[in-house]
């Protein structure tokens, strides 16, 4: 590599470290906020997008940081309780607790926090959390061959909807 920053031995341009840093800083990346920047989906309310916050089988509770749009660790569960399915929220919705509507999505596999998937609601589970209404949508993944045909929770095998919340 030459000291003048013009070319290396293979005729490739060479940038000084400071120039690379400045070049990186001058490029702005635009990231969609998962709550406000992601559409609810073209087939909503039948099929809607759901942003996954917590992976099936996880003991880590994640929350959406409303300011940045990033998924942050809220806490690690202290008991043997794990999330039975992927858990997240429906973008561009608002529940009485000033958060997006929560959804538990039944599907075969765990998926990464922060990704989104297409889901179909099969039942509403009314809940109260800290005195606030905090309903949960129980849904199935619209693209999972094992679950996509379900339209009502009564169609599931009895053991599939007996989990501890």
In this structure, CATH architecture of domain 48-161: Alpha-Beta Complex (3.90)
Q: What is the mean pLDDT of the chain?
A: 84
CA–CA distances in Å: residue 136 to residues 78, 124, 143: 23, 6, 20
The whole-model pTM stands at: 0.76
Residue 161 token pair: 């909807």
| Per-domain boundaries in the chain | 1-30, 48-161
Percent of the chain with pLDDT over 70: 77
pLDDT tens, position by position, 45-103: 999 999 999 999 999 999 988 888 888 999 999 888 899 999 999 999 988 888 899 99
Catalytic residues: 83
User: At a CB cut-off of 8 Å and minimum separation 6, what does 84 contact?
Assistant: 56, 104, 163, 164
- Kindly report whether the peptide bond that precedes residue 49 is cis, defined as omega within 30 degrees of 0: no
Lowest mean pLDDT among 25-34, 75-84, 138-147: 25-34
């Amino acid at each position: 590599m030459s000291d003048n920053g013009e070319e290396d031995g293979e005729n490739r341009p060479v940038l000084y470290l400071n120039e690379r840093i400045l070049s990186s800083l001058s490029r702005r990346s635009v990231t969609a906020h998962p709550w406000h920047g992601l559409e609810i989906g073209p087939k909503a309310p039948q099929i809607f997008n759901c942003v996954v916050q917590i992976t099936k089988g996880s003991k880590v509770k994640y929350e959406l940081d409303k300011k940045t749009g990033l998924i942050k660790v809220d806490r690690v569960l202290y008991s043997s309780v794990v999330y039975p399915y992927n858990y997240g929220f429906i973008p561009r919705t608002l529940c009485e607790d000033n958060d997006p509507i929560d959804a538990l999505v039944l599907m075969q596999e765990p998926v990464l926090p922060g990704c989104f998937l297409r889901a179909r609601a099969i039942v509403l589970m009314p809940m109260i959390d800290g005195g606030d209404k905090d309903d949960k949508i129980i849904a199935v993944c619209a693209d999972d061959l094992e679950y996509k045909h379900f339209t009502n929770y009564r169609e599931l095998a009895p053991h599939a909807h007996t989990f501890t919340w």
